[in-house]
A = this chain, B = another copy of it.
Amino acid sequence: MSPTTRASRRRRPAAVTIHDVAARAGVSVATVSRVLNRKTPVREETSRQVLEVARSLRYVPNVAARSLSIRRSHTIGIVLPEVHGDFFSEVIRGIDLAARRAGYHILVSGSHSDRNEMLEVLAAMRGRVDGLIVMSPDVALSALHDQLADQLPLVLLNSVAEGHTAITIDNYGGAHAMMRHLGTLGHSRIAFIKGPDRNADASERLRGYRHAMRQIGGRAADLEVPGEFSEESGYAAAGSILARHERPTAIFAANDAMAVGVLSAVAAQGLNVPADMAVVGFDDIPIARYLAPPLTTVKVDIAELGRRSFEAVIDRIDRGLPDQPRHECIPTSLVVRQSCGAATSLRRTKKASGKKKTTRQEEI
């Protein structure tokens, strides 16, 4: 029974397989496989021959068969709360870029911060991916332990949990630096619009705010207002802040989306930013510089976050898992624009370049 005999036995037009290539090139499938995977010595001559036949036949290896055999899918799974929005899509982009270079694919799914949905997604990815990048700022990871415990290399994004490798943003440092900046400008009654209660980023930013407030000597608690990271919640929060009898002089929104809402609310009351009220955010979303006035904020290199997390999974995949969990922290930088009322000369401050945590950059 020649190798070609069983071509197109069942459904479909039948694709060309490694057997077809082998037959046509007059060698065995093993040789073809070796040539294609650059393994073990194959005579130059044979190699060229095989390659040529493969190309002429438009042979494309069947990934399923390959995966089944080598037990690798060359795909990594990404589970995020959402798959849209400035932040998440930028993370995806960062990962995609790195993955592509490494010959990997990405499988993306949003969990909507819902425990069951998350479990579902995780279950569905099982077996499809060689590693997992999970971001779950809201859902307690312990709840997912069962699914995550299986021996898949895992990297946590912006959330920490014992025993797992994690990559996070320096939320605390960023918030703290922003507060120092506001302090420098003379502000001390600084209101803070918080993010969702159990969101890890949000609570770190809050921690930075509180710590700085304590240093400044303000009573932070009175000035904290709840928010949900949405423009709408920022708008609402600003409303409540502006209504205070002892009005703060600055508003620090825990993310830019809320800052956008704040700007809108402040303008709606006929007040001027930054003259009547300084407004700052966190994230440096693309439109931040185009707001009126341009928003002072904390810049986060999100794509880098994605890139690093990919490197981390790959690392664990490649050397088998048994290395201990690491924890990386991506530095942030202050971007001073006009909404904070700072003099707007172009100036760039870098502390001893290199391992700086939070750099500061001012722009026009």
Contact = CB atoms under 8 A, between A and B. Distances in A.
A264 B286 contact: no
Nearest to A303: B84
Interface string A87-117: 0111011001100100001111110000000
B100 A93 contact: no
25 contacts: A11-B71, A13-B151, A60-B123, A60-B127, A63-B127, A63-B128, A64-B67, A67-B67, A83-B92, A84-B89, A84-B92, A84-B93, A85-B89, A86-B86, A92-B108, A96-B109, A100-B121, A105-B125, A106-B107, A106-B109, A231-B286, A231-B287, A257-B286, A261-B290, A263-B290
Interface of A: 11-13, 15, 60-65, 67-68, 71, 73, 75, 82-86, 88-90, 92-93, 96-97, 100, 105-110, 121, 123-128, 151, 231, 235, 257, 260-261, 263-264, 267, 286-287, 289-292, 294
A92 B109 CA distance: 10
A287 B292 CA distance: 13
Contact of A68 (B64, B151, B231): B64
A83 B97 CA distance: 10
A131 to B, nearest CB: 14
Contacts of A63: 127-128
Contacts of A96: 83, 108-110
Contacts of A126: 60
Nearest to A260: B290
A109 B84 CA distance: 15
Q: How many copies of this chain does the complex contain?
A: 2
Nearest to A85: B89
A254 B123 CA distance: 42
Contacts of A108: 92, 96, 106, 108
Given A105-B124, A263-B290, A291-B292, 15 more contacts: A11-B71, A12-B71, A60-B127, A64-B64, A64-B67, A64-B127, A83-B89, A86-B86, A106-B109, A235-B290, A257-B286, A261-B290, A264-B292, A264-B294, A292-B292
Contacts of A86: 84, 86
A123 B59 CA distance: 11
A286 B86 CA distance: 10
A13 B150 CA distance: 11
A263 B289 CA distance: 12
A322 to B, nearest CB: 12
Which of A62, A83, A263, A264 has most chain B Cβ within 10 Å? A83
A302 to B, nearest CB: 9
A264 B63 CA distance: 50
